[in-house]
Amino acid sequence: MDHQGSAKCEQWGDFSLTLHSDGVAVLVFDRPPVNSVSVAVYEDLVRIADRIDQDSHIKAVVLTAPESARAWCGGADLNDFVGMDPVRRKARYEFVNAALPRFAAIQRPVLAAITGPVVGVGMLLAGLCDMRIASATAKFSCPEIDYGLVAGGGGILALARMPEAKVREMLFTGSRFTAEELEPTGYFNYVLP
């Protein structure tokens, strides 16, 4: 992104927040190898949301990933689930179901600049943004069903403003779609080469 004037960069865990003098903040998610979402990432999203809302100079936010990233968001970090019993799994989902709405409540327009694959919770993260601009070749999926899980934690899907018919197909089949295939649903503002 080309912006006028100087920029100030802050590091928040796996995110860098670059504040440009024109009021645009670029939030880059960079957690190799696939930008998977751990509990620490959810914690960072809450802190970042608070940071943005406290800064009157920020007029808009662009959420993206580095060009070199294998995924814009590769879904949940499966390492978080190793050895997790049902009680801990429930507590994790309760935390996630509190963290994502906080990100969605940022009091600035948030644009998702989607440059690569989006998996599972990445669909929710993109859906929680006010606008979505995707690369035509970006792929989208909710493969939780392949692991015997139901994606999205219920009410979060409604917050994500995802087109219901296609969302149900993704959730119930684990199917993957390109941005071009999803474009007619209205999920994106723009799909670009």
CA distance 113 to 11: 19
Beta-bridge partners for 137:
none
Of 16 and 94, more confident: 16
Tokens 């670009």 label which residue?
A: 192
pLDDT at 22 over 80: yes
Mean of pLDDT values over 177-187: 91
Mean of pLDDT values over 33-59: 96
pLDDT at residue 162, rounded to an integer: 72
Residue type for position 21: S
Of 66 and 158, more confident: 66
pLDDT at residue 1, rounded to an integer: 45
Q: Which of 1-5, 47-51, 62-66 has the lowest mean pLDDT?
A: 1-5
Domains and CATH numbers, the chain: 7-181 (3.90.226.10)
pLDDT at residue 37, rounded to an integer: 96
pLDDT in tens, 131-175: 999 999 899 998 888 777 666 555 556 656 677 788 788 888 889
Mean of pLDDT values over 92-108: 91
